[in-house]
A and B are shown apart, each in its own frame.
Chain A
Amino acid sequence: MIFSDPLLFAFSLLNTGAVLFLLVYFVITLSDLECDYLNAQECCSKLNQWTLPKLIAHGFLSFMFLIHGHWILTLINLPMAMWMVYEITAVPSGNLGIYDPTEIHNRGQLKRHMRDCMIHLGYYLVFFFMYLYCMIVALLKGDPINRDDQFEIDS
């Protein structure tokens, strides 16, 4: 499952875009809860089912970079992956997930979740453009006019 670089970056662009959409959904749902349009139970069950897909998407991307030998990209992706793993493992055994309906209104948790989501959002936005740049660089690598040269370089 080795892609060429442009393909890999195109995939990461898609992946990051999807996560971005998911994060926007998180933010909207949380602010709905804040404004009382949604009750805590609904909100938390909606969000909790998407936390694992988010981690998988991110982890898979890091893994892809790893097997493609993009060490730097892997390394800068790793802290976020580790943070997400920590978030999931740190959930107390009695809680229903990262977003617990009984606690979300307590001790400013809602604000904290909102802040976390915003940080995620910013992080992915930066990465989105980074991947875009990387993809363009990868596409431009070699002579874009003379496609044959590129294949020579690759092979």
Chain B
Amino acid sequence: MAQQNLPNGMPPQMVNSRPPFNTNMEKPPLQFNGIHSSHSSRDSSPSTRPGQQVPPSQLPPMRSTIPPSQLPPSRSPTNLINQKMGQLNVSNSNSRFNTSTPNQTLQNPSGLVSAFSPINVPKTDNSAGNQVFRQQLQQPPPPQQPQGNHSPYNSQGQNRTLINHGVPPYNHQIPQNQVLPNSQQTPHVNYNPPFQPQTYQRPLVNNHNQAPPHFQTMSQPKPVQNNNPVAQGGFNYNAAPNMNMPPPPQTQFKTNLHSNRYPQSQPQQPQPNMNPPQFYQQPQQQQHSVTQHGFNKMWGQDHVDLLQTPNILPREKVTPPKVYLGNEVLDSANCSPEVFRCTMTKIPESNSLLQKSRLPLGILIHPFKDLTHLPVIQCNVIVRCRACRTYINPFVFFVDSKRWKCNLCYRVNELPEEFQFDPVSKTYGDPSRRPEIKSSTIEYIAPAEYMLRPPQPAVYLFLFDISRLAVESGYLQSACAVLLEELKSLPGDARTQVGIVAYDSALHFFALGEGLSQPHEMTVLEIDDVFLPCPDNLLVNLKDRADLLTDLLTQLPTRFNNTYDNSSALGPALQAAHKMMAATGGRVTVFQASLPNVGPGALTAREDPSQRASTEVTHLNPANDFYKRLALECSGQQIAVDLFVVNSQYMDMATISGISRFSGGCINHFPLFKASRVLQNERFERCFRRYLTRKIGFEAVMRIRCTRGLSIHTFHGNFFVRSTDLLSLPNVSPDAGFGMQVSIDESLSDVQSVCFQAALLYTSSKGERRIRVHTLCLPICATLTDVIHSADQQCIVGLLAKMAVDRSMQSSLSDAREAFINVAIDILSSYKLSLNMGNGSSSLNAPQCLQLLPLYISALLKSTAFRTGTSTRLDDRVKAMIDMKTKPLSQLIQIIYPNLYPVHNLEEQPIILNSEEEPIPQPPHMQLTARCLDSKGAFLMDTGEHMIMLVCPGVSTVFLNEALGVRDYVSITDEMYELPVLDNLHNQRLHQFINYLNDEKPFVATLHVIRDNSPIRIEFFERLIEDRLENALSYHEFMQHLKTQIK
């Protein structure tokens, strides 16, 4: 029977070496972060297991404890571990984390136990069990262990992860022999071969997970094969994509390359095993009772047991769910989810249904995204509904050839003659050939009636803080250099104007008048009542005075080197900027390095540094209304203020950010900025360069309309809501995202679909008035199951984050955190309700479309914005909150849950071709936990604006030499910020992959290569948010908590 159960390619000798498969066994231990799930932890504790001989070849390398010196300070309560060890009478063998010393390998297995102990102790409180366990383990000593353990990840990150990392066989194997007397276990019928076809539910999951679990980890892992159709077919990363193919012999070496388990244990054998490396392990998630299974089948909907599925993240990027309107033409015409996304792909027909599902309803929009294909039309008449002013879109109904019915207010409108003319074929006839009807994202070049005044020139004003702190940070050098380079590429026509003002305790204006040989500086000391020293020449034409501007920008960085002025008059500077630009509007860019402490808008330091880790966070709200008031005045004059904060001390982001928040600006934060720090400076320059050269829309307004019966009640983002559905955006940038919460006011049961339309009216930098219209159409559904299965988890998380920011500002941070947890509980409860299951179930089910929601929520609770207990500077927290409000969804998700990829074997990964026909390797996405790391690997974490590559000590020299271009492991310095370009496959693939990741970002991310044994590795490990942090729950604990809360 065991034989039948094997994956196709499983060679017979593996079968023989496998311990007898006990068919009485009800359930192998389900592991999750290395511990057993709650209900089974007691039963699967080692004390109940009879001894079992483990074939030596299947034993993992030795594990030992991590020397305290190598534990990251913030993550590892070393003393706790030691304490636990003491409890168990286990000696702490301080083996170094060093792969090249074989003599350390045969140390006592007690090291192993000590690594186990933190897990078992809290869970079972059974130290005797651990002792028994240890004795068992000692029986089969690992035969050859040339390499010490490489699993600092486990015991460090959380003192509990061990099992999955280095010693999976133990974990899997021992329970095999266990006959569980406990009847609680009986509903779980997995891995019992006769049941397998039934218990198997999830289509994404590779069938090979039917192999007994110990199998997957017992033997040598094998690399993923590129030619494996399974691997490319959208299978779960964890799903052992390569199991049904015997590995080609030449992959032998590579196999070792990315396995940390038995690096050299079977060096000569052809590797017969089919087992993926550890992190490819199939989640053992199909723990469904027969009842559940029946329900699932009935509805054709899948669900996932969160408690049993540690590796919940799919192999590929999470894609937004598709909207099905029941009509292919309409489906293809619908707005791209990148631009316009709703938290549900089907709208519940009534408010009560929505309340029952407990899902938030809202839309996220990224209206000015850089698009590659955007139909632009210029016509005399823009067809709009006469009642609600909706733009004609693909989802309107044509009553006959002369009339159309608005899909938002249902008014029947006349169709102008002109509309029946097809500009492509130059014939009259069917109106559906028009681009307006074919595409739901369209741009009109607007006629004169859409202008309040003639298009104004693009005006850019730069305000530089030159107080002492600013000069010390050295940002002025970098900023002026970048500005000088990009001066020519500022978007705008021939009328573009530029001005520069510097400020400390006084305002320094620079007149760039005609005929001057060099800039003329005018200092205004009077800051309480600001005036402009001269009426003109402060803002000058870029083309005419390019020389003077160049001159000024070259002088500026050194001009104020000797000031010792500690004051910063931001308020007066902004007032002056408002005065300068009131006539035309435009963009003000402020570089602020210190707390503004003189003149109007002066602030005091409110943050108490000793309270940074406390659970109650105060001062999240502005200290005064000066900046908000000024921002509204600016907004009225079509001036947007963008902030570049390069502070080294507290500068009250909560108050100052008001100037950008309400004027439609953006905020970029570079905490503790020093130009001498290469990485920071690089990020600052790239960010500023992108900022200068990106598209810009002036004098913009955005109006969101929705079908009658729905209404938008809350807006999130940087803008001013001028009237119920009109957002005033003095500037709109391609990097700005917005969110709106929607409520259902009337029953929608008599309609088939609802629409949202966002129309963005703006003046392009070339002085054209344009309207960009996005329309999203969503079907209506009537049942709770439909509603829940239509959820879009990423969008929900995006909206929740925005709502939580509001909550923390109005109420308190702890309230917001509680609300997050309640959302997860509510949604899972309502799902349980919709499944109609009793209370008896021991699983925590989530629909597949929401399987990542708890993961994201647990990540949000640990994000800079919402975490408590970890020391977080107030400014950083407020900035993180602003990001939650304003980042487009894709970037936001990456901030919340960074992407982690293995990059040591890119040349073996499946490939896609990009637009230039270059092969791009597609490594799997990995869970953010140390459990998934591999000491023979290299891992790239992509946090959006910054990438960190962790190189583990066991990584092959080939990778080091060829991909990274370093001689050996130690020669990776702490300052390795870029990869050399070398002419070999490893290096090319790595570059291709990183470039591919960067293509989707607004600007190229900075890269930092980190050695696993360098102190800065903490940068990487603090982002492994699934693991237990100082006082935040690990993902698994969070799931356990949810489980207890769900009634």
- The chain A residues found within 8 Å of chain B, CB to CB, are 33-34, 36, 39-41, 92-96, 101-102, 104-108, 110
Contact indicator A94/B723 (Cβ below 8 Å)? no
Given contacts A39-B722, A40-B722, contact A107 B713 (CB under 8 A): yes
Q: Tell me the minimal C-beta distance from A32 to chain B in angstroms.
A: 10
Known: A36-B723, A40-B722, A93-B625. A107 touches B714 (CB 8 A): yes
B720 touches A102 (CB 8 A): yes
Tell me if A96 and B723 are in contact (CB < 8 A). Answer: no
A94 touches B623 (CB 8 A): yes
Check A93–B632 contact: CB distance below 8 A: no
Contact B632 A105 (CB under 8 A): no
- Verify A96–B713 contact, CB threshold 8 A: no
Residues of A within 8 A of B658 (CB): 94
B724, A36: Cβ atoms under 8 Å?
A: yes
**Pairs across A and B, CB under 8 Å, 16 listed:** A33-B723, A40-B720, A40-B721, A40-B723, A41-B632, A93-B624, A93-B625, A94-B622, A94-B623, A94-B628, A94-B658, A96-B628, A96-B632, A102-B720, A106-B806, A107-B806
A106 adjacent to B624 (CB under 8 Å):
no
Q: Which residue of B lies closest to A38 (CB)?
A: B723
Give the residue name and chain of the A residue nearest to B809 (CB): A92
Fill in one digit per residue for B772-810: 1 if any A CB lies within 8 Å of its CB, else 0: 000000000000000000000000000000000010000
- Cβ-defined contact, B621 with A105, below 8 A: no
User: What 1/0 mask marks residues of chain B from 443 to 481 whose CB sits below 8 Å from any chain A CB?
Assistant: 000000000000000000000000000000000000000
Interface assignment of B1038: CB less than 8 Å from any CB of chain A = no
CB distance from A42 to the nearest CB of B (A): 10
In the bound complex, CA of A139 to CA of B726 (Å): 55
Bound together, the chains give a CA A109 to CA B145 distance in angstroms of: 68
B636 touches A41 (CB 8 A): yes
* Chain A residues near B625 (CB-CB < 8 A): 93-96
Number of A-B contacts (CB under 8 A): 60
- The minimal Cβ–Cβ distance linking B875 to chain A, given in whole angstroms, is 16
Q: Which residue of B lies closest to A40 (CB)?
A: B722
User: What does the 1/0 interface line of B94-120 toward A look like (CB < 8 Å)?
Assistant: 000000000000000000000000000
Q: Does B655 contact A (CB under 8 A)?
A: yes
Mostly helix, strand, loop or mixed at chain B's interface?
mixed
Chain B positions 596-633 with a Cβ under 8 Å from a chain A Cβ: 621-625, 628-629, 632
Q: CB < 8 Å: which of B621, B629, B722 contacts A92?
A: B621
Most buried by A among B624, B629, B713: B713
Residues on A with C-beta less than 8 A from B698 are none
**Chain B min CB distance to A26 (Å):** 18
With CB as the reference atom, state the residue of chain A lying closest to B713.
Answer: A108
Do A106 and B723 contact each other (CB < 8 Å), given the known contacts A94-B624, A94-B658, A96-B628? no
Given the complex of chains A and B, what is the CA–CA distance between A34 and B713 in angstroms? 12
A104 to B632, CA, bound (A): 14
Residues of B within 8 A of A34 (CB): 724
Given known A93-B621, A94-B655, contact A105–B628 (CB-CB < 8 A)? no
In the bound complex, residues from chain A placing their C-beta under 8 Å from that of B723 are: 33, 36, 39-40, 105
| 0/1 string, B719-742, CB within 8 A of A gives 1 | 011111010000000000000000
Q: Which residue of A lies closest to B622 (CB)?
A: A94
Instruction: Give me the 10 closest cross-chain CB pairs, A-B, nearest first.
Output: A94-B622, A105-B721, A36-B723, A106-B714, A107-B714, A39-B722, A92-B621, A96-B625, A94-B621, A108-B713
Cβ contact of B721, chosen from A94, A106, A108, cutoff 8 A: A106
What residues of B have a CB within 8 angstroms of the CB of A101 in the complex? Answer: 632, 720
The interface residues of chain A lying within 8 Å CB-to-CB of B629 are 96
Q: How far is the CB of B667 from chain A (nearest CB, A)?
A: 16
Answer whether residue B340 sits at the interface, using C-beta atoms and an 8 A cutoff: no
Chain B positions within 8 Å of A110 at CB level = 724
In angstroms, Cα B632 to Cα A40, docked, is: 11
Q: Is the pair B713, A102 in contact by a Cβ cutoff of 8 Å? A: no
Minimum Cβ distance to chain B for residue A98 (Å): 13
Separation of A94 and B628 alpha carbons in the complex (Å): 7
Say yes or no for B280: interface residue by CB 8 A criterion: no
A39 to B720, CA, bound (A): 11
Tell me if B715 counts as interface (CB < 8 A to partner A). yes
In the assembled complex, the Cα of A95 lies from the Cα of B621 at a distance in Å of 9
A101 to B621, CA, bound (A): 16
Q: Which residue of B lies closest to A102 (CB)?
A: B662
Known: A93-B623, A107-B806. A102 touches B724 (CB 8 A): no
User: Considering the chains assembled together, what is the distance between the CA atoms of A155 and B628 in angstroms?
Assistant: 59
**Beta-carbon contacts under 8 Å, B669-728 to A:** 713-715, 720-724, 726
* Additional A-B contact list (4), CB under 8 Å, known A36-B724, A92-B622, A108-B714: A40-B722, A94-B621, A94-B622, A94-B623
CA distance A110 to B806 in the complex (A): 17
Chain A residues lying within 8 Å of B623, measured Cβ to Cβ, are 93-94
Q: How far is the CA of A105 from the CA of B720 in the complex (A)?
A: 10
Q: How far is the CA of A16 from the CA of B440 in the complex (A)?
A: 55
